[in-house]
Structure 1
């Protein structure tokens, strides 16, 4: 049964975390102290429940709390070896756990355990960090709050910071909380409601204080001529063109997934006079720069500069950024520092267009963008009331390459086989295409589900996990403009595309003398022309990324096997099969592998078979339509029906880590049709 204090803590945390004005995603932590019964002794024991490492307040559940014995946490003050060795105290928290202890305790556990208040909130509101990063932050905090909120100079999170805040609370009994220099806020209360109200009072008071001083000249200065936002259609077209180039650059050290935003706050910041100077100063709150890196890469060309010039400049700026980051590492690294993790930017700002952000998956990339928007808000607030003054570069390095942060990274699960890959599946709303989309997502890929039926494609995308995993796009693969828009959508959603599955298809079974030109043209338009258009537009992106790639054609055993009443379909599939060979020969120099899969008839779950093809083929072979799958199975060597998931498995085999030297291959997935053996 959930302890009442825990229920109140979860509810408070969820309310605070649901409002982006209060704290950023996965940022901050909350706690409660209360008495419970020790199941061993039957005696009362004081416990501390505190949000564990890596959790998010907005979605926090009881399983995300660390549970510690309060007496043991406070006893750690007697063995604290001093600030030079305070990292050792994190391991000591494991000896304070109650029962199984719940989630792993975070670095901020000491703050919550040592502050003498039943309820404590530590948050990262933009308004609070604006005060915390203002050059006159201490004086402005006093002006804003009087003696209700106390200034705490910057200190890296840890045991000593917990001691500092505990002392502040003891020495200022009238205070409801504090502003942590360069970092955020902490509030406390005797009840959960009082603690939440105190947190909100600090946040809203700071907001009002900043707003009252924002009238008049814009904190970021005037708009630079030529740097204002482009019209939306032009802006997004340019973003789609640039995204693969930027993603390729950001993936120099390790493949990344991208995210694009042209939110008003970003477009305003990139248009302003102070952009170069403020961006160079970088972010301040540890939660920000751990996800955005210490500073972004900023394009220094006007919004309407020719795209070719922007691409050239991006490559130059990227080289400079990498050299600058390596120099930053060399300035501060010690013999004990972890190896440099990568010198590519996580945030790229393009005036007039927007912000491109990158991470190991879509969620990480999206959250990086959200954090940089937090940073923009912080800089705007600090500039409105003073001058933005983030923590020193050396302090940023101490956190970015903190041994504790490195240990957290090492605990991360091993990436899945297709992690960081962006897949695009045509005909992805049903049958083979749906199975492929599901399998790609299960293996860690982001997926663009393309189909004529947008509602069905959206249902598939939602089932895969929503926009952080998959997006749905309506696309007619026979239409050149639709295909270009489809590939642009992939670039805007995930930064580009790495893995294309040409699966869209249909079939009309008729004897030669009954086959019309319309029948012929439709099947060749969808499968031969459609595959060509999709491969061409995807190849443009893959070449721009310079990250290699995979194109897979779902052809058919009918590309080899000559059956009755099947001229148009079989010819279109033969066209696809030869496209595989031709494109493998042409695109190999770009590291793009092109392969094909030749399934036998996949009846179960197939939109093609359900749409009339099944009835036509059943009539051709003289069997009931309900027994068509079994009929096909009996003519194979293995006597087993081919299912959509069997084709999906072949896609993963061709695009995963095991067949990296294979191109121009056709894999039969037909349970053994001897007449379709490759010769």
Structure 2
């Protein structure tokens, strides 16, 4: 970042040396990634970029102009070259002759595949004509908060002229598509000196002859808006001033941990949802302000915002000064039902004869004065991104309401985008959700061999997983590995000792604030010891009972409390042991504790059944690889008891089994997945032995 760049301005990150080594498509990607790296420029998945590039036709070898433009569903900040659609510019121009007016606008999308260059499989987006018909080599379409704050005012045309003069034009709201592409083309033809245009209630278009000039124009136009708002808003209280002070950070998070499972329980019956909590300064300024509720009721302006957040949020009235969270929870059913009824009425008012059926009528965004913002969606990433989009909307409302009258998109226009047949077709093309999508799991001993393999199996099926362990270093290592492979949204960690009642409660509350609730508990934390009864110390006995008995009780109790509050059922899987069923000499403390664990599971299966809470057990045996209990004295003790060398243990256990096979952590994980998933929906109180066969542990 340049030292001369003022603190709140966008810095010019263009590196000529890097760009010089790239071809034109490479520079387009470079520009796109730079723009998408800052949410002040555009939000996740929002906006698009393009370049018109001279290339050799793969059939004739003749030079042709190819439009490279961000394809459907991509994100400019993270996309690669394969995220761009490529289309023959001359064929796109030919589509002008086919187009007969706005009544056939949707049909024009069907012609875009006929313009594909070089059999590129990346589908072209609805915004393709917006780039194709501008007579410039490089075009950026961004959604910067500062510019949308201009576009979302009642007098946006006049403000655009005041801020930019003739350099940036203005076009009235129109849904993205073929006609808007022609509108932009006409504007550019009539205003050859303009560098871009503000689209009412939408965003910004800028252009230039080179990738660098286009990029720098985009930054300059956004920075001018940021600077103008700084001057206009200086000394003015945001949103009419603060009227509700935020609770302290610890109290806010505790409130989220209590509220989120309650909300999730009311909205997650048909489809499990994952939550995200945001109490950033921008959010707290908004939800604590005088104008908070009337502004929230107006809805968002930019189409990208309300497609992610619905047309408006659900405001949950709360006074942190009284701290009556129980009262707020008690009021949730009526508040949620009222929102659903309002959404259904919106659908009925605006629907067309061919509109798709009404979708999920629950709110995505929940706003609580003094506490913050909660978002719920089908997965963590979608909930987090929805939250980020609403922060963008807050920034827009802050600017727009501070200089003029803020206006959301008209209700009918919002509906026509939300229930656009093209949007519905896009939704129908989405891949089928994975089997554990929307579910949240907590795995104790999650940084060890069986726990880590289990977490990976559940994540692979779409679950969000909280790894709980006492080993901070191993936790961080596991988190970093999973975040790299599955995405940071899928994994969280909590460090606690399962024998510490207060720490267990705090760890679960932390998990609830991160993901909004819980569906699966895998109780796996463990130790092992071996000694004849006459030499077994009381401390060793107590430690086994404490971790394998009391620890399993404490985490199960916390999970049961949450499951009953959520009223969505639940799933508990204990990792026990063959030794819980089959006596073993020289390990009485361990065997007794594991037997207690199994019987606790049976009792919990009886208690939880009426609430849809299933409790089952996986019994491993001799899982040497990756298991913490097999590192150290237990390995030596087991080898000594069988009169073996340590390195002979694995072969010994393999040959001892009926199937003559070794058992690995991923084998246990497969058993856990079966019991935690709907594959075993009619099973509770069961024991699944994963031990390659041991007659002593056959259940009877």
TM-score surpassing 0.5?
A: yes
Give the distance between the partners of 1:217 and 1:544, measured in 2 at CA: 43
The within-5 A match list for 1:516-555 is: 516-555=537-576
**What corresponds to 1:482 in structure 2?**
503
Give the distance between the partners of 1:20 and 1:301, measured in 2 at CA: 30
The within-5 A match list for 1:19-418 is: 19-224=38-243, 227-303=244-320, 304-418=322-436
Give the distance between the partners of 2:120 and 2:258, measured in 1 at CA: 50
Per-residue Cα deviation, 1:581-601 (whole angstroms, up to 9, x for no partner): 111111112211111111112
Query: For the Cα contact (< 8 Å) 1:65–1:102, is it kept in 2?
Result: no
Give the distance between the partners of 1:133 and 1:422, measured in 2 at CA: 38
Shift of 1:167: 0.7
Alpha-carbon spacing, 1:456–1:444, altered in 2? closer, same or farther (3 Å): same
**What corresponds to 2:12 in structure 1?**
none
- Select 1:661's aligned residue among 653, 661, 682: 682
Give the distance between the partners of 1:583 and 1:275, measured in 2 at CA: 46
- Select 1:581's aligned residue among 582, 595, 602: 602
Query: For the Cα contact (< 8 Å) 2:458–2:673, is it kept in 1?
Result: yes
- Select 1:448's aligned residue among 466, 479, 485: 466
Query: For the Cα contact (< 8 Å) 1:250–1:346, is it kept in 2?
Result: no
Shift of 1:102: 4.5
SS in 1 for 2:693: coil
Give the distance between the partners of 1:300 and 1:563, measured in 2 at CA: 60
Give the distance between the partners of 1:161 and 1:255, measured in 2 at CA: 38
Give the distance between the partners of 1:283 and 1:541, measured in 2 at CA: 34
Query: For the Cα contact (< 8 Å) 1:258–1:357, is it kept in 2?
Result: yes
Per-residue Cα deviation, 1:402-460 (whole angstroms, up to 9, x for no partner): 11111111111111111111111001112111110111111111111111111211211
Shift of 1:335: 2.3
SS in 1 for 2:540: helix
After superposing the two structures, state which structure 1 stretch, 234-243 or 342-351, moved more.
Answer: 234-243
Query: For the Cα contact (< 8 Å) 1:454–1:472, is it kept in 2?
Result: no
Shift of 1:3: 7.3
Query: For the Cα contact (< 8 Å) 2:275–2:374, is it kept in 1?
Result: yes
SS in 2 for 1:448: strand
Shift of 1:546: 1.6
Per-residue Cα deviation, 1:587-628 (whole angstroms, up to 9, x for no partner): 112211111111112111111001321111111111111121
**What corresponds to 1:514 in structure 2?**
535
Give the distance between the partners of 1:260 and 1:250, measured in 2 at CA: 16
Query: For the Cα contact (< 8 Å) 1:247–1:545, is it kept in 2?
Result: yes
Per-residue Cα deviation, 1:225-280 (whole angstroms, up to 9, x for no partner): xx211011122112111121122233244211111111011111100011111111
SS in 2 for 1:331: helix
Alpha-carbon spacing, 1:302–1:323, altered in 2? closer, same or farther (3 Å): same
Query: For the Cα contact (< 8 Å) 2:504–2:554, is it kept in 1?
Result: yes
Query: For the Cα contact (< 8 Å) 1:448–1:490, is it kept in 2?
Result: yes
Query: Aligned-pair RMSD on alpha carbons?
Result: 1.2
Alignment pair present for 1:468 and 2:489 = yes
Q: TM-score scaled to structure 1, two decimals?
A: 0.98
Unaligned runs of 5+ in 2: 1-20
After superposing the two structures, state which structure 1 stretch, 155-164 or 239-248, moved more.
Answer: 239-248
Aligned length, in residue pairs? 676
Shift of 1:301: 2.1
Query: For the Cα contact (< 8 Å) 1:528–1:572, is it kept in 2?
Result: yes
Give the distance between the partners of 2:551 and 2:518, measured in 1 at CA: 17
Unaligned runs of 5+ in 1: none
SS in 2 for 1:12: helix
Shift of 1:61: 1.3
Shift of 1:11: 1.0
- Select 1:633's aligned residue among 654, 669, 676: 654
Give the distance between the partners of 1:569 and 1:644, measured in 2 at CA: 20
Query: For the Cα contact (< 8 Å) 1:604–1:629, is it kept in 2?
Result: no
Shift of 1:517: 0.9
Give the distance between the partners of 1:612 and 1:566, measured in 2 at CA: 13
**What corresponds to 1:431 in structure 2?**
449
Give the distance between the partners of 1:330 and 1:497, measured in 2 at CA: 35
Query: For the Cα contact (< 8 Å) 1:36–1:44, is it kept in 2?
Result: yes
Shift of 1:60: 2.0
Per-residue Cα deviation, 1:540-589 (whole angstroms, up to 9, x for no partner): 22222221110100011111101101111111111110111111111112
